[in-house]
Amino acid sequence: MLTDLRRAELERLLRRYDLVLVVQQDGESITGSFWGDSEAGIVGHNVYARPDTPVHSLLHETCHTVCMSTARRQSLHKDAGGDNLEEAAVCYLQILLADELEAVGSERLMTDMDAWGYSFRLGSTAAWFEHDAEDARNWLIDNRLIDSRGKPTYRLGR
């Protein structure tokens, strides 16, 4: 949950992408949330969350915003859209960014993704990431969102 994180650390990560974290009050409907309940929301360059928002949800919606084109981002409200390959790239990038957060890390995030219900052919997020995500990795490299070593470039999609 958002409460597990150092807010300044998370805000710093989002700022690297020119994104803004907007934390809403407990019980309040999250602005721009596609799934509702405690799931993060996105509108333009803003990522919305509550204290009970799961970390995987916050990173997932952040990565949708990062991966989409400038034109889509300008009209973004709730539904990130995109195709299956972009969705895979979003999942891949959120795993990489989890390592940027001291209290999270990729291992914990992949466990959280499995618990929430992410579904991959190989049965788990970790198996997908390690053995079946080459297309997602290549998409991120081709779009200059990670470098050839698999490190985030902190650029937004064009």
Per-run averaged pLDDT (10 residues), the chain, 158 residues: 86 96 95 92 96 95 96 91 94 96 94 86 90 97 97 96
Distance between CA atoms of residues 135 and 102, nearest Å: 28
What's the confidence (pLDDT) of residue 68? 95
To which residue do tokens 């934390």 refer? 23
What's the confidence (pLDDT) of residue 32? 94
Chain centroid, CA 147 distance in Å: 18
3-class secondary structure for the chain? CHHHCCHHHHHHHHHHCCCEEEECCCCCCCCCECCCCCCCEEECCEEEECCCCCHHHHHHHHHHHHHCCHHHHHCCECCCCCCHHHHHHHHHHHHHHHCCCCCCHHHHHHHHHHHHCCCCCCCCHHHHHHHCCHHHHHHHHHCCCECCCCCECCCCCC
